[in-house]
Amino acid sequence: MANSPSGESVAQRIARILETFDADRSVQTASEIARRAGLPGSTAHRLTLELVATGLLDRDEDGRLRLGMHLWEVAQRGSRALRLRQAALPFMERVQARVREHTQLAVLEQGEALFLERLSHPDAVSNITRIAGRLPLHASSSGLVLLAFADERERERTISRPLPAVSRESITDPAELRALLERIRREGVVIARGFVESVSTGVAVPIRQRDSVIAALSVILPRDAPTGGAVDELRRAAAGIARVLDAPTDFFSRSTGNPSARDTP
């Protein structure tokens, strides 16, 4: 695709436009998009018109822009995240029925923990995680599991950067982080008290597919809640998800996205 005077391709500029949308900013004007994407107004206007024409953006009755249903449709086709979420959801529901707080599924994406699913009880403890939201690898329980089992280059890249504190108890010392990651690899679980919010404890375990860690399954509990039962539930669920993921590739087409009776928790 053709580059702009700044050297950016059209694809890069479109990505910047789409990334201006989030859960708190689901509807915007073209001028707001231009400002947040750092694009000239004329460029943002032209590109948003093209995105509306293709269905990747929609206009509301006031002419403001929002992400289009066609963008969601395309993202679901053959999505690795969709298959993982389908495999995990029945097991997550069992965990959530037991812990009655928050149960979450996350993957490693561009140096952060990206959350694919979250189940929550109405009276659960505070939790800043959102579906399609991100948290730093070094601070969140899911991120710590993903980082512990990531390849060495990814770990070193994260550890060598500044480690900003998300809460007063976040790990910001590289040596301390290295030691924790080694313990996670050895024990297969992390219990992170107050790393993101002082009132909460994150507990996370790895999800494996063919001996590779592809995701993290976690629960968020009140700070002083016992964690033993949650660890057991998470480990059972992760093992069940792994069985489903290792099933034949036509498994989901036969079962319309739900595990068979043998694999249902």
Q: Where are the domains of the chain?
A: 10-74, 80-255
CA gap 259, 245 in Å, rounded: 10
H-state helical runs in the chain = 10-18, 30-37, 41-54, 69-76, 80-99, 141-148, 152-160, 174-187, 228-245, 251-255
Task: Work out the percent of the chain whose per-residue pLDDT is above 70.
Answer: 91
Among candidate residues 26, 94, 99, 101, the one with its CA nearest the CA of residue 60:
26
**Given this structure, which CATH class describes domain 80-255?**
alpha beta
The CATH number given to 10-74 is 1.10.10.10
pTM for the model stands at: 0.80
Q: 66-80, 95-109, 192-206, 223-237: lowest mean pLDDT where?
A: 66-80
Label residue 234 by pLDDT band (50, 70, 90).
very high
Per-residue pLDDT, 259 = 46
pLDDT of residue 260 exceeding 60, the answer is: no
| Cβ atoms 195, 113 nearer than 8 A | no
Average pLDDT over residues 56-61: 94
Q: 35-39, 211-215, 254-258: lowest mean pLDDT where?
A: 254-258
Per-residue pLDDT, 5 = 56
Average pLDDT over residues 49-67: 94
Could you check whether 10-74 and 80-255 share the same CATH topology?
no
Label residue 254 by pLDDT band (50, 70, 90).
very low
The two three-digit tokens of residue 198, written as one number: 């002082």
